[in-house]
Amino acid sequence: MTTNTTEDTLEAQPATAMATHTDAATPARAPRYTAQELADTEIQHDTELPSLENHVSLPIPLQVEYWSPENPGEEKRGWILGVEEQLIADRDTGELRRMESILFVEETKDGKKARIQCAAKLLVASVQDAIRRGEIVPGNLRYPVKITYTGIKKCKNGNKANKWEITPLVVRG
């Protein structure tokens, strides 16, 4: 599947906010712990903390980076985690707006993992369509993709729009 799309020119940066909505095409992630399990393990002032000596770091950091490519050919390779509504700050005005955003885990050239977010409207719409068609399964290792920014296109109405290409990745050999 190759999808070429365009988007509006809103340049956005993420605000510090939690996801408040999961698109119907994106299955909700099950919580790791029940409310009772969390309540039973809440840290209080008199709580004796366990040793973290035997704990290891997960390979994916919690912070999310916003991707706003500048040059055609920029790409990200990784796994789509889903489409969620996020509070995004407009780069020019700083105004917070609720926007649908893709969230994915990128594998960088040095093998590290990073969480990436992008609220490009038509990119988000293309990912949602691919999820509905079963071409992308959010949060599944069997469905990695490459997302490439292909440049800016002038629209018939005179506006400029970004173009994208989404392609599935398969194992060689």
Q: Work out the average pLDDT over 7-30.
A: 40
User: Would residue 42 count as lying in a domain?
Assistant: no
User: Would residue 32 count as lying in a domain?
Assistant: no
User: Would residue 12 count as lying in a domain?
Assistant: yes
pLDDT at 165 over 70: yes
Q: Work out the average pLDDT over 98-126.
A: 91
Q: How many domains does the chain have?
A: 1
117: tokens are 């977010």
User: Would residue 11 count as lying in a domain?
Assistant: yes
CA 121 – CA 102 distance, rounded (Å) = 10
Average pLDDT value for the chain: 80
Neighbours of 65 (CB within 10 A): 13
Amino acid of residue 141: L
User: Would residue 75 count as lying in a domain?
Assistant: yes
CA 72 – CA 81 distance, rounded (Å) = 24
Q: Coil, helix or strand for 120? A: coil
pLDDT at 39 over 70: yes
CA 172 – CA 47 distance, rounded (Å) = 51
Rg (the chain; Cα; Å): 19
CA 97 – CA 90 distance, rounded (Å) = 8
Neighbours of 124 (CB within 10 A): 21
Structural domain containing residue 18: 3-25+59-168
CA 88 – CA 11 distance, rounded (Å) = 10
Beta strand 64-66 pairing with 113-118: parallel
> Helices in 48-171 by DSSP H: which ranges?
121-132
User: Would residue 134 count as lying in a domain?
Assistant: yes
pLDDT at 145 over 70: yes
Of 165, 169, 159, the closest CA to residue 5 belongs to 165
User: Would residue 39 count as lying in a domain?
Assistant: no
Beta strand 144-154 pairing with 113-118: unpaired
User: Would residue 153 count as lying in a domain?
Assistant: yes
Instruction: Give pLDDT, residue 29.
Output: 56
153: tokens are 């296109």
Q: Considering Cα of 139, then 2, then 102, then 171, what sign does the dihedral take?
A: positive
Q: What is the percentage of the chain residues whose pLDDT exceeds 90?
A: 38
pLDDT at 18 over 70: no
